[in-house]
């Protein structure tokens, strides 16, 4: 990038501040809405939770519905950003790609636990357009799981009769880390949870001839 194209330092600082403020507001909104429910949350309550003025919130969001939609789509955007990178780093083996995708999903869920719970509890509060957007994003962000499963079946390494069903089972298992975190955290770390759930799933779909190659993933 030439010096003429480089971002002005002041503009870069403003962008960084805006991103930081947006993150602060989304995290505060997720915590507050999970605790109180979206219907009971006012913009003033959100301002208090985030430690900012109400006027600042309106610089980022038009109303409370916009806040709820942003909180939910934030999780899906994180999937879109992080899962493909993890899959690409896993190499060409479809089973390794599947494991990397599931691991990345779980890490995103762990980072956005409050928002993940809201996805299930509060998405019904969105208008029709908002719900349609959420559904479309969910289909798009689950694509790496489906691709890896279909590729694994084609390569003879997986025997899943319905790869799409297995993909959504894995997606639900990732979300379960947030939905039942109060229970799972008593006995296991996130990494242990990932290993256990991945092994449980793969033992049901991996072909017998491939088991030795993926012994590390099949451990209980």
> Per-residue pLDDT tens for 161-209?
899 999 999 999 999 999 999 999 999 999 999 999 999 999 999 999 9
Burial code (b: 16+ CB inside 10 Å, e: under 16) for 164-179 equals: eebbebbbebbbbbbb
What is the sign of the dihedral through the CA atoms of 194, 34, 167 and 89? negative
**Structure letter (DSSP) for residue 155:** T
What's the whole-number mean pLDDT along residues 151-165?
94
pTM: 0.82
CB 68, CB 33: distance < 8 Å: yes
Domain regions of the chain by residue span: 64-207
Contacts of 132 (CB under 8 A, 6+ apart): none
Domain 64-207 is of which CATH architecture?
Orthogonal Bundle (1.10)
Q: pLDDT, tens digit, for every residue of 56-69?
A: 888 888 888 888 88
């Amino acid at each position: 990038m030439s010096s003429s194209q480089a971002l002005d330092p002041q503009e870069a600082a403003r962008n960084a501040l805006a991103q930081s403020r947006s993150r602060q507001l989304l995290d505060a909104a997720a915590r507050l809405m999970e605790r109180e429910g979206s219907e009971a949350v006012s913009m003033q309550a959100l301002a208090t939770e985030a430690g900012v003025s109400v006027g600042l919130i309106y610089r980022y969001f038009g109303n409370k519905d916009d806040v709820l939609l942003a909180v939910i789509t934030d999780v899906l955007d994180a999937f879109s950003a992080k899962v493909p990178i993890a899959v690409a780093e896993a190499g060409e083996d479809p089973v390794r790609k599947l494991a990397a995708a599931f691991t990345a999903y779980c890490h995103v869920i762990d980072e956005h636990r409050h928002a993940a719970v809201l996805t299930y509890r509060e998405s019904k509060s969105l208008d029709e357009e908002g719900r349609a957007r959420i559904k479309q994003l969910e289909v798009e962000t689950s694509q790496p799981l489906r691709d890896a499963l279909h590729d694994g079946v084609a390569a003879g390494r997986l025997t899943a009769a319905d790869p799409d069903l297995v993909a959504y089972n894995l997606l639900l298992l990732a979300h379960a880390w947030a939905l039942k975190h109060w229970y799972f955290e008593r006995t296991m770390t996130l990494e242990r949870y990932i290993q256990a759930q991945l092994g449980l799933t793969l033992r049901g779909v991996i072909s017998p001839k491939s088991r030795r190659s993926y012994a590390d993933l099949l451990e209980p």
